[in-house]
């Protein structure tokens, strides 16, 4: 019999077949007893029906039999008797002649005898399937049963009684009520839909609030019809439910009643809902999260500071912004997928592990690190890190502050401070030392002219040379002084360089080297010609000293933005990294007989002109660039 939950038709048919073996005299019983929509044809005398009742009522499922068409005599087996709380096999007809201590309700309304399943089958010949009835006792006990019924007919087709099966669904109803309460109170939007067409069967209040529809506007309509899923997403969901029985974290964009679009994660499971397979759908609104991710991505991409995202465990780079690619001098495809160690942010896996261990304890700010770009330039970095979560996976977001220029500027300030201190010392004591030295030199020259000192001529000349050398050092000191007397005039840098060519060429020829001039068209500017000549000679002589024979030094001039540039390029092997930061420091020299004031004086002169002295170095040589601002006053 269709619809009987605790005793399917097949089981009932089997049980009747067993009884038939015992009741050979009832050979005219149809072996399709209570199967489908066929009548149960019984060609029996009343006494035979009574005996069949006594046999059928011993089965372990709920069974009630009316032995007459009026339902005045109704027998219930032990299952039903226990359900109703009455004596087994008592005559309890529900036809209005008995008084019970319980009420029978459907959807909260009292059920009349004419509406009961057994009576409908006996009195009207109806086939009743799964009539859900509530039984409520005066003491507060509440039970629910599913009752199905069929009429019993004799061979002439006359109704001689009725047959009903019972299923106690009290516990199931309690579970359904609990689930329904949970379903309607949960804060996530939830809906129950049919398994084939995904048609709405029930929705909770959160679902209604999310979509802006009323319940009557949704029930009976499909998810595709009201925009929960696009047609393609609708088919994808049905396919997954059919193959897997569930749907997990399916991200899609839905259109709500007011026309706005929202991003949701859809989860779905197949459940039993009122005796039919259905699908419960849960929505998670991630619109705000996706919008935040879009804002983050926009800020990440356009941030002027270099940034990168790496996996927490492997340190593999999953994303970088344009600023980082610019700093590294690489394309995105050359970076994405590599580890941070391979990229060069960390020098070793141990170094990265130390950073991660600190990061796991909390956010890290301004972690100092050096990075070498694709061009070989060393960048001084301050790295800040934080652990973030993307799609339930943990990553490290690194914010990088490139302080290379700031660090260079700080070093320049320190160097200029040192120059200034030395210059102030030179200005204060230079004249005091020079005066007695001039006197000593004069007496040595006078003694050298006397016949009596001819035998000491070499010694006297050596003493004079050493005094001259000391005097040149003092001159260098005085050149460092910021407040020394100097005159600036508006001249062309090329006109300062050209008169020095013969002097520079003489130095080059003596060393079997060459001077190459590449003077561009440049405007006039204010400068102290005497000081600039000193810079030119110092840079050219330094370049000639480091260049190999048969090579040379190139002297160039050109305009760069608002500056006039003097570039002196040698053919040496470059400046080692370990001494590059020390260049220009007073008394620092790599020459055996050097004093260490030449470049210090050049830096000081550049500073007094409001310009700068920078250098680029490599294996093919070094170029020093003196930048002088173009100015009239």
What are 99's two structure tokens? 């008084």
What are 519's two structure tokens? 């003077």
Of 588, 612, 610, 609, nearest to 600 by C-alpha is 588
pLDDT of residue 2: 35
Task: Give the Å distances, CA to CA, from 2 to 126, 146, 223, 468.
Answer: 14, 12, 30, 124
DSSP letters along 196-252, please?
A: TT-BEEEE-HHHHHHH---HHHHTTSBTTTTTSS-HHHHHHHHHHHHHHSEEEEEEE
Do β-strands 142-153 and 40-41 pair in parallel, antiparallel, or remain unpaired?
parallel
d(CA 271, CA 21): 41
d(CA 187, CA 381): 47
pTM of the model: 0.44
Q: How far is CA 324 from the centre of its chain?
A: 17
pLDDT of residue 594: 59
pLDDT of residue 41: 36
pLDDT of residue 50: 56
Task: Give the Å distances, CA to CA, from 218 to 203, 238, 276, 277, 567.
Answer: 8, 19, 20, 19, 79
What are 165's two structure tokens? 């099966």
pLDDT of residue 9: 39
Q: How far is CA 203 from the centre of its chain?
A: 33
Helices 598-608 and 404-448, packing angle to 10 deg: 120
State the CB neighbour count (10 A cutoff) for residue 174.
Answer: 12
Per residue, the 3-state secondary structure of 21-61, as one string, reads: HHCCCCCCCCCCCCCCCCCEECCCCHHHHHHHHHHHCCCCC
β-strand partners of 384: 399
d(CA 385, CA 232): 41
pLDDT of residue 54: 58
State the CB neighbour count (10 A cutoff) for residue 188.
Answer: 13
Question: In the chain, which stretches have pLDDT less than 50?
Answer: 1-13, 15-16, 19-47, 96
Of 253, 261, 263, 257, nearest to 212 by C-alpha is 257
The pLDDT tens digits for 558-590 are 999 899 999 999 999 888 877 877 776 666 677
d(CA 188, CA 80): 41
Say how many residues make up the chain: 633
The answer to whether 385 and 355 have CB atoms below 8 angstroms apart is yes
Q: How far is CA 241 from the centre of its chain?
A: 29
pLDDT of residue 19: 45
Task: Give the Å distances, CA to CA, from 561 to 25, 517, 521, 522, 609.
Answer: 120, 22, 14, 12, 17
d(CA 466, CA 217): 107
d(CA 397, CA 388): 7
């Amino acid at each position: 019999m269709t619809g009987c939950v605790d005793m399917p038709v097949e089981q009932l048919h089997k049980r009747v077949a067993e009884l038939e073996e015992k009741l050979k005299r009832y050979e005219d019983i149809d072996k399709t007893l209570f199967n489908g929509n066929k009548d149960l044809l019984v060609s029996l005398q009343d006494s035979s029906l009574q005996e069949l009742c006594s046999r059928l009522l011993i089965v372990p499922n709920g069974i009630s039999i009316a032995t007459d068409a009026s339902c005045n005599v109704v027998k219930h087996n032990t299952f039903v008797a226990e359900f109703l709380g009455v004596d087994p096999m008592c005559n309890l007809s529900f036809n209005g002649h008995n008084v019970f201590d319980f009420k029978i309700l459907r959807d909260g309304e009292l059920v009349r005898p004419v509406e009961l399943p057994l009576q409908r089958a006996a009195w009207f010949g109806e086939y009743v399937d799964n009539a859900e009835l509530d039984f409520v006792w005066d003491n507060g006990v509440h039970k629910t049963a599913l009752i199905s019924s069929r009429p019993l007919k004799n061979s002439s087709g006359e109704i001689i009684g009725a047959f009903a099966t019972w299923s106690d669904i009290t516990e199931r109803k309690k579970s359904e009520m609990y689930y329904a309460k949970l379903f309607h109170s949960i804060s996530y939007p939830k809906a129950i839909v049919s398994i084939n067409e995904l048609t709405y069967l029930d929705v909770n209040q959160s679902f209604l609030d999310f979509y802006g529809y009323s319940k009557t506007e949704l029930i009976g309509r499909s998810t595709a019809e009201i925009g929960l899923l696009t047609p393609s997403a609708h088919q994808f969901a049905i396919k997954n439910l059919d193959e897997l029985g569930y749907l997990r974290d399916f991200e899609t964009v839905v259109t709500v009643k007011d026309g706005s679009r929202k991003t949701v994660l859809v989860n779905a499971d197949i459940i039993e809902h009122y005796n039919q397979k259905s699908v419960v759908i849960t929505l998670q609104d991630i619109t705000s999260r996706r919008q935040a991710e879009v804002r983050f991505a926009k800020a990440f991409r356009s941030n002027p500071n270099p940034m990168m995202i790496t996996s927490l465990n492997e340190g593999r780079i999953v994303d970088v912004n344009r600023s980082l690619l610019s700093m590294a001098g690489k394309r995105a495809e050359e970076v994405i997928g590599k580890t941070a160690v391979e990229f060069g942010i960390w020098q070793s896996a141990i170094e990265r592990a130390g950073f991660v261990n600190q990061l796991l304890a909390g956010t890290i700010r301004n972690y100092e690190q050096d990075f070498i770009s694709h061009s070989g330039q060393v960048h001084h970095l301050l790295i800040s890190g934080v652990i973030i979560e993307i799609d339930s996976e943990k990553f490290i977001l690194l914010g990088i502050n490139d302080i290379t220029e700031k660090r260079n500027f700080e070093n320049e300030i320190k160097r200029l401070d040192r120059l200034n201190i030395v210059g102030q010392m030179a200005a204060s004591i230079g004249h005091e030392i020079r005066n007695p030295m001039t006197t000593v030199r004069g007496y040595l020259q006078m003694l050298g002219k006397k016949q009596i000192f001819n035998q000491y001529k070499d010694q006297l000349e050596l003493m004079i040379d050493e005094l001259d050398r000391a005097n040149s050092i003092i001159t260098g000191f005085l050149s460092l002084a910021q407040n020394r007397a100097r005159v600036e005039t508006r001249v062309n840098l090329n006109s300062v360089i050209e008169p020095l060519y013969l002097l520079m060429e003489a130095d080059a020829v003596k060393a079997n080297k060459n001077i190459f001039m590449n003077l561009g068209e440049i405007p006039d500017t204010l400068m102290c010609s005497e000081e600039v000549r000193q810079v030119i000679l110092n840079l050219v002589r330094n370049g000639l000293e480091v260049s190999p024979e048969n090579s040379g030094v190139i002297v160039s001039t050109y305009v760069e933005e608002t500056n006039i540039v003097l570039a002196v390029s040698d053919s040496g092997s470059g400046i080692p990294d370990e001494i590059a930061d020390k260049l220009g420091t007073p008394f620092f020299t790599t020459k055996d007989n050097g004093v260490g004031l030449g470049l210090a004086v050049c830096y000081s002169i550049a500073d007094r002109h409001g310009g700068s002295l920078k250098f680029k170095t490599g294996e093919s040589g070094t170029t020093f660039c003196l930048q002088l601002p173009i100015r009239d006053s």
